[in-house]
Amino acid sequence: MYYGALEAGGTKMVLAVMNDSGKTESRVSIPTRSPEETMPAMIDFFRVWDLAALGIGCFGPLDLNPRSDTFGFITMTPKLPWRNYPIYREFSRKLGISVAIDTDVNGAALAEAELGAARGSSVSLYVTVGTGIGGGLILNGTPVHGLMHPEIGHISIVPSPDDPAPDGFCPYHRHCLEGLAAGPAIEKRWGQSARHLPADHPAWELEVYYLAQLCATALLFFSPEKIILGGGVMQQKFLFPLIRKKTLELLNGYIPVQLLGNLENCIVEPALGTESGITGAYLLARGAALGNPDRRG
């Protein structure tokens, strides 16, 4: 049995065909141009295989309300040719197979929950901290959707009194998490890219404070067993012990320490690295083949 997997990004599309045991049979990467240019190439790639289903981890925002007429549309994306594009419906029609779609970050979160750093956890949160901040919450093997998909990057955060730009940079919310702690916020605040800031730069103390607020809020809100922090900014591995320590400080003993320990096993790095996106799409395809109704597979 073969499964199609598509990691649909704003810059490039990664397409793969994988077998029952997850082995990759074929894989290509193509630049994301307009749907008119890019879709036929993708359809052609998948069509030669006898696929059981296709899974799509897609850039967003997406309409994922299964009762909506525009289910599986890419909605208000700044990538104008893809705005309101019915990507789910097009693949369903053209390939004539079950298709499952979710956000790219939910796909990555699913992959980490099933096969990566959160394997065996009933509740896990995956957060990517890079150009933006996004997150996926997985409960018992299923991404949480509710009214829409979560937009964890935009939760409200208490700015630090030491922050030279405490108003933040989010055009919607100013000092939300993304407005204070995403890569572009770091760069705007300090006038240079996060990647070039040394480990003793005050930028990192702020970053730790903001990401620790995210972790503390997550622990209080739904007590995930794993909080996986990925994305470009988290390539700075020295941040992990600092974020764990600051999170414990913010919780101030409220969650019993025997449950949390030093958070070494709770706030962790991704295990799948850059493979989480395509792996998540593969898992979505597997779910669709099994007829997972949540994902309209």
Name the site residues for its own copies (rule: CB under 8 A).
61, 65, 75-76, 121-123, 137, 139-140, 142, 144-152, 154-158, 172-173, 213, 216-225, 250-256, 259-260, 266
Question: Min. distance of Cβ 237 from its own copies in angstroms?
Answer: 23
Is the Cβ of residue 55 or residue 179 nearer to its own copies in the bound state?
179
DSSP secondary structure of 167-193: T--BTTTBSBHHHHHSHHHHHHHHSS-
Residue 74, classed as helix, strand or coil, is: strand
Is the Cβ of residue 39 or residue 123 nearer to its own copies in the bound state?
123
| Nearest C-alpha neighbor of 116 from the set 226, 214, 19 | 226
Question: Min. distance of Cβ 286 from its own copies in angstroms?
Answer: 20
Angle, vertex CA 149, rays to CA 62 and CA 271, nearest 5:
100
Is the Cβ of residue 116 or residue 150 nearer to its own copies in the bound state?
150
Is the Cβ of residue 79 or residue 94 nearer to its own copies in the bound state?
79
Question: Min. distance of Cβ 294 from its own copies in angstroms?
Answer: 8
The residues, ordered by sequence, that sit 6+ positions from 53 with a Cβ below 8 Å of its Cβ are: 3, 4, 97, 98, 99, 100, 285, 286, 288, 289, 297
Question: Min. distance of Cβ 221 from its own copies in angstroms?
Answer: 6
Question: Min. distance of Cβ 106 from its own copies in angstroms?
Answer: 12
Q: Are 181 and 133 in contact (CB under 8 A)?
A: yes
Q: Are 138 and 144 in contact (CB under 8 A)?
A: yes
Tokens 């101030």 sit on residue? 252
Is the Cβ of residue 182 or residue 194 nearer to its own copies in the bound state?
182
